[in-house]
Every structure is written in structure tokens, then in C-alpha cells.
Chains A and B, each alone.
Chain A
Amino acid sequence: MLTYIARRILFMVPITLAISLVTFIIIQLPPGDFVTALSAQASENNEQIDPETLAALRERYGFDQPIIVQYWKWITNIVFHGDFGQSFEWNRPVSELIWDRLGLTLVVSLATLIFVWILAFPIGIYSAVRQYSWGDYIATFIGFIGLAVPNFLLALVLMYVTSRFMGANVGGLFSAEYANADWSWGRVGDLLNHLWVPVIVLGTGGTAALIRIMRANLLDELKKPYVELARARGLSETYLLLKYPVRVALNPFVSTLGWILPTLVSGAVVTAIVLSLPTTGPLLLNALFAQDMYLAGAFILLLSILTLIGTLVSDILLAWLDPRIRYE
């Protein structure tokens, strides 16, 4: 088991490097660089930046050097100094801007994950045990709606409905008085108060998928002879259900962690933009628009690494839970 974990972690290193390279290429893709974006912005406002300043800026950030050199500079600074470069737009080091937002992204994603599990687990069991009942049809229908409605649309509709009929503004993660405050219990409570909207928006799709998986797996298990045997031995229906088939059917809950966390993290980007949450999404979009390359790069890189870690954790959990899995 330990060697398995060690090997998996070791395997992450080349993938992370490849991701960092791809990230760097992506943020280099737009024609021109930040300096051109800056001068374009200035000329839009009928201002002129003298060419010498522009050249100096180019030299300072190494834009005149070949891409490989720029990449090397970028990645070594990150690995050895934790320095993600400078955000041109904010005129601050990138590392000052990202960690708060990344942390909140993680909070939103994990809260959604718990929400998805709590909801999908009983509904999935119910759907399988009472197959083709009204409840099953309703769950299936809601599930499909959850899959078909784009996250951003759900967020918009939810915002519209709450502002129209409840008179509340559900955007953001904090009320005005806590937005820039230090962490305190009041702020945590405020966060929890705002968290439900993004959690519902993000969780619907995942819940729908997980209910379908749980239902299908449990239906397969319920047909197996050991269930019949347990029933023949006179175990109560609830006990035998929870004791055996549900435990086997539970595996997908763990294995889906591998893909559900990445989808949550990446789905959170769009939802956050619509709901203007102080997470990675809005800042990433702005950075992409403004060609604030180091900021965008840091987000794409860190979100990718978060995804990798999610996959790793789910694989390890699965190997630990299910004795049938061999560490090849």
C-alpha cells in the first residue's frame, strides 16, 4: 500500500511538469503580450506611453527572450521561491492574490461534495429499492434536469428568483460588513449563510450523476444471490440492505471523488463568475481578458494540481476501502 502511494505520488511529478509547460504555452498563446495590451488600453483612453517605458517593461519581464527561457524563469521561481511572478493588472505579486481565493474555492468545492453525497446517498438507495415507483421517477426526472441545465443558467435563475420573491441578494460569499474583515466566528457564520446558493448550483449536476450511478450499481447488487440468502435467513430488510449490497454499491461514491472534485473545481469557475464569488473564477476570467499572464497561469496551474491531488486521494481511498483492488 505504501509503495503504491509512493509510486502514485512519484508519478505525479512528470505530469505536473507537463501541465506547467502546457499552462505556460496557453498563457503565451494570445498574440502580443501584456505590454501590447497595456499600450492598446492606453491608446483607447487617448493616452500615449512612450516606447522606452514599454521596452523597459518588456525587458524587465523577459518578454524579449525565447519562450523556453521565459518558461524556465517562471517555473524555477515557482518551485524554489514560491514566486508566481507579478500580476500586471493588480501591480502586486501573484502569490498575494491567489491563496485566499484558492482556499475559498476549496471550501466551496468541498461543501458541495458533502452536499452531493448527503443528497445522492439516500435518494440513490431509495430509487433502486423502489424502482419504477413515483419517487424513483421524480428522482430520475430531477436528476436529468440537473444534468441538462447549465450551471450558470441555474445560478442566474436562482439569483433572479431570490431577488424577485425573497428580496435578498444572493451574490458573493460574504455580506458587505464581512467582505474585507479578518477571520472570526461571525465571518464563518456569514460564509455559511451565503454558501448554500453556490453549493446548490454546483451540486445539482453531480448529485444527478451520482444518484444514477448509485441506483444502477445497487440494482445490480440486489439481484445477486447473497441478498436472497440474507433474506432467506430472516434478516430485516433494512439491515440486510445497509449491511451488504449498499456497502458494495458504495464504491462509486469514493471512486467518483476522482472526477467529481475536478468537475466541481472547474464548474465552480463559471458559477463563481455569475454569482461574483471571491473565488478563483472571476479573477481568472479577468486575467485572461487582460492578458495578465502570470496570474492566469498561476490559477490554471494550481487548479490542475488540485485536480491531480483529488484523483490521487480518491484512488488511495478506493484501494484502501476495497480489498479486491490490487496495486498493480
Chain B
Amino acid sequence: MSDAALNPSIEASAGKAARTKPEKTVAASGQWRLIWLRFRRHKLAFWSGIVVIAIYAVALFSDFIAPTTAFSYNAQYTYAPPQMVRVWGQDTDGNRHLFYVHDYTVTVDPIALQRSFEPDRETIVPLGFFVRGEPYRFWGLIPMEHRLFGPKEVGQPFYLFGADRLGRDVFSRTIHGTRVSMSIGLIGVAISLVIGIILGGISGLAGGWLDEVIQRTIEFLKSIPTIPLWMGLAAAIPLNIHPLIVYFWITVILSLIGWTDIARIVRGKFLSLKTEDFVTAARLDGCGQQRIIWRHMVPSFMSHLIASTTLAIPAMILAETMLSFLGIGLRPPVVSWGVLLKESQSILAVANAPWLFLPGLAVIIAVLALNFLGDGLRDAADPYGR
């Protein structure tokens, strides 16, 4: 817009052609603003973007948001069913509370030793914001006690998603799992992006035998069925190493295939841009090779690349979930959505505790939101089209 303001004659002529005001702004907007305007119009993608940001915020502050730590357990509440948050209740002392859940009445079957839970409509567990819980270290550094939401008294049962076989809160664990599951997609994509841009760039710019070698490698990698390949590689990770190293290896394994798509896009873009007028113009203006690449060519397909990488994240999240579910990815004590879903592997456990599926809901929401966001970004990435 500032460019147009500096040059009144251009604005005047544009004003004649464009009758309405918004069009005038569009005509004078930069590329990123055009992308943003177009993206805003795509309602579903826009709201998905907000959901994605929210999920990453949860991942960032999971210690604080989750009502309990990932490992707090209470054997009294094994396989306790989910509780419903209710509003405006009165406890036995006559105090009113804005949010509360019903306590359980636990009966133990004397023969099968199985616990059955009924909501105890008489006793209530008052809930509140910024309540004191078990002490923990925020990001493993800052000692803290307060949590976003939870029972006002420490140790009272609050199982939004029910409890697992050790009486751990499935909801808290799902929140804690967000960090690992969402970051593995992000880091995996980052690795793929770096490899993809470098190799795709070399392939597209250098051409010749280097191009040939890289292209054949991509074709080869794509011809191996991914899941058996991932399984074979993941099974090769030793059992006794630190969980963080396992995490690292899993991301590397997932990026092993992931970079190929990005490299192909980068190569194709470089090949088609080589002959574009603006590149020739830049060359005739005496720009160096590096400047042409980084200041002229890369910015022109960066938006497209961001869209493609957004679409690559959900695939990685699903892959991690699958490997962990099979028991060859991440393993406890690491908490990820796949690790949580492994609990639901036994159909017998699930028959009595179907809420063990609920971490899957987190997977579905995250994957859907990222897919819609990527779709919208891809449409918006080329604001000059149509």
C-alpha cells in the first residue's frame, strides 16, 4: 500500500479502473497480504488454523493445563468411568460451587474383584481454576503447584476421560501426550524440509548426473512400502536407550520418506522458475547466483512450500501414533497419543473401558485441523491464480 501512496499517478489510474475500495487495496497489496486475505476467506481453514494454534499452545503449556501429572495414579479408581462436569452445585456444608463433578461410589465384586463405579449424587467434588495440585516443574525447570483447572482439594477424583488400568487420569495423559505427538510431526517435517530443500535445490539447479542420482534415489525410496520399512527400522532401535534418543530416531525414520515429496516440489519449482521473466530480469540486472536464488526464486515458492509441509505434518503424527501403538515406536514412560492408544489394544480392556479410545479423538482433531489448514494454505498460496 505504501508503494501506491508514494506514487499518486499510479493510484489515480488504478482508482479509475477499480470502482470499489477493497479492490483498490487488493491491487496494491504485497504477496503475503494477498495470501492472508485469501486465506481469511476460507472459513474452515481459518478456524482450523486457530484450532491448530490452540493445540500447540496446549502442547507448550501441558504441565499447567493438565489436572494431574502424567504419572499420578490412584489404585482406588482403576478403570473409573468419565465424569461429567456440572455447574452450580451445593456441597454438604451448604457452600455453592460453580463447577463440580460427582464423586464415585465404588463397589467391589467379591468374586471377580472387579470394581464398579456409580456416580454418587450426594457428594460433590468442587472444581476451580488455578487450584493447588501436586507440585511439578514447569518445562522441567520452574517449580510450580498451581494448575489451570482441577479439583479444589488435592487427590479428589477428577476423571474427565475416565481412568486407565492404574487409575491414571486419561484426560491429563492425553494433554501431556500432546507435546510429544505434535512436536514429532513438527520436528520430522523440519528435518524433511531441510533435506528436501537442499537436495531438491541441487537437483533442480545443478541438473546433470547429480539430478539423475537424486531423482533415482527418490524413486527408489518411494517404491519401498512405507509401513514395513518404518517397522523394520523402528524395530532396530535398541530397547535400552534413553527415551529422548528413541524420540530422535523415530523422527529421523519418519523424515526418511518425508523429504522426497518436498525435494520434488522444490526441484519442479526451480526448473520452472529458471526460465521465468523475472529471473531473467534479475540476471540481466547483474544479480549474483546466490541473490537470484534466495531473494527472487525462493520467496516466490515459499508459500507453496509452507502449504505442502503443513499437509505433511498430519501424516507424521499418524505414523508416530501407529508405530507407538504397535509397540515399536515410543514406549512408556514417554507419553504420546500412540502410547496411550496402546492401552486400548486389548479388546477385553476396551469392552469394559471404552473411554480408552478417547486419546484417539485428540489424534483425529489434530489431523483434521492440520489437513484443513494445509488445504486452505495451499489454495491461498497462489494468490494470483484465478
Contacts and interface: CB of A to CB of B under 8 A. Distances in A.
Contacts of A30: 235-236, 238
Given A156-B350, A163-B351, A266 B228 contact: yes
B368 A144 contact: yes
A18 interface: yes
Contacts of A163: 347, 351
Contact of A150 (B238, B322, B327, B347): B322
B341 to A, nearest CB: 7
A160 B235 contact: no
Interface string B345-378: 1010011001001001001100110011000000
Given A30-B236, A144-B371, A153-B357, A304 B224 contact: yes
Residue with the highest number of chain A CB atoms closer than 10 Å, among B228, B318, B321: B228
Contacts of B238: 30-31
A289 B341 contact: no
A19 B235 contact: no
Interface string B216-233: 000110011111110111
Residue from the set A26, A145, A171, A289 with the largest chain B CB neighbour count within 10 Å: A26
B158 interface: no
Interface residues of B, number: 38
B336 interface: no
Contact of B235 (A148, A171, A288): A288
A67 interface: no
A267 B319 CA distance: 11
Interface string B303-319: 00000000000100010
Contacts of A144: 368, 371-372
Contacts of A148: 314, 363-364, 367-368, 371
A157 B220 CA distance: 35
Interface in A260-308: 262-263, 265-267, 269-270, 273-274, 284-285, 288-289, 296, 299-300, 303-304, 306-308
B371 A273 contact: no
A164 interface: yes
B178 interface: no
Given A156-B347, A164-B351, A150 B326 contact: no
A319 interface: no
A160 B228 contact: no
B125 interface: no
Nearest to A156: B344
Contacts of B223: 15, 19, 304, 307-308, 311
A22 B233 contact: no
A29 interface: yes
Nearest to A306: B225
A141 B236 CA distance: 38
Contacts of B327: 289
A9 to B, nearest CB: 14
Nearest to A262: B225
Contacts of A266: 225-228
Contacts, number: 116
B229 A26 contact: yes
Nearest to B372: A144
B381 interface: no
Nearest to A164: B351
B232 A303 contact: no
A317 interface: no
Nearest to B233: A26
B167 to A, nearest CB: 22
A150 B318 contact: yes
A266 B327 CA distance: 17
A240 to B, nearest CB: 26
Contacts of B175: none
Nearest to A16: B223
B148 to A, nearest CB: 27
A150 B228 CA distance: 16
| Residue among B224, B314, B350, B364 having the largest count of chain A Cβ atoms under 10 Å | B224
B328 interface: yes
25 contacts: A26-B232, A29-B236, A31-B238, A145-B364, A147-B367, A149-B364, A150-B318, A150-B322, A156-B344, A156-B347, A157-B360, A159-B347, A163-B347, A163-B351, A263-B226, A266-B228, A270-B325, A270-B326, A285-B326, A288-B232, A289-B328, A304-B224, A307-B223, A308-B223, A311-B223
Top-9 shortest CB links A-B: A29-B236, A266-B227, A288-B235, A266-B225, A26-B232, A148-B367, A148-B368, A153-B360, A30-B236
